[in-house]
Amino acid sequence: MRYCGLLFVLIVLFFSFAAKADIIGTVDMQYVGYGANSSLTLWGGGNYELDTRGGVHMFEKTGSTGQGDLIDNGLIAGFCMDLAEWRSNDELTYNLEF
């Protein structure tokens, strides 16, 4: 029985590292402002009493390829939980992976 458990763990580890996401399309978006938002103070993520804004970010989808074409161009709302990741004002292309 001990070997069955070890074999199972090895198989799971193999497939975890062997799995590869395929790019199925792209989406071009640019930050255009906030949706619902409020001022807030952050403690955490390397910040101490950082006064900032938080809430829903609004993006303008302007183009796409592949499966990204299934998403209409226009405004898209998004919420970011990564305190260390700041938004860009540039138009960026995001890969859609499956």
pLDDT, tens only, 7-57:
666 666 565 655 677 788 999 999 898 888 888 888 887 888 888 887 888
Residue 7: inside a domain = no
Domain count for the chain, please give it: 1
Residue 64: inside a domain = yes
Residue 37: inside a domain = yes
How many helices (H) and strands (E) the chain has is answered by: 1, 4
Residue 11: inside a domain = no
Handedness of CA 79, 84, 89, 94 (dihedral sign): negative
Residues in the chain: 98
Domain that holds residue 50: 21-97
| Residue-wise pLDDT tens digits, 43-97 | 887 888 888 887 888 899 999 999 999 989 999 888 766 666 667 788 888 888 7
Regarding pTM above 0.95, the answer is no
Residue 1: inside a domain = no
Q: Are strands 23-44 and 47-66 parallel, antiparallel or unpaired?
A: antiparallel
Residue 83: inside a domain = yes
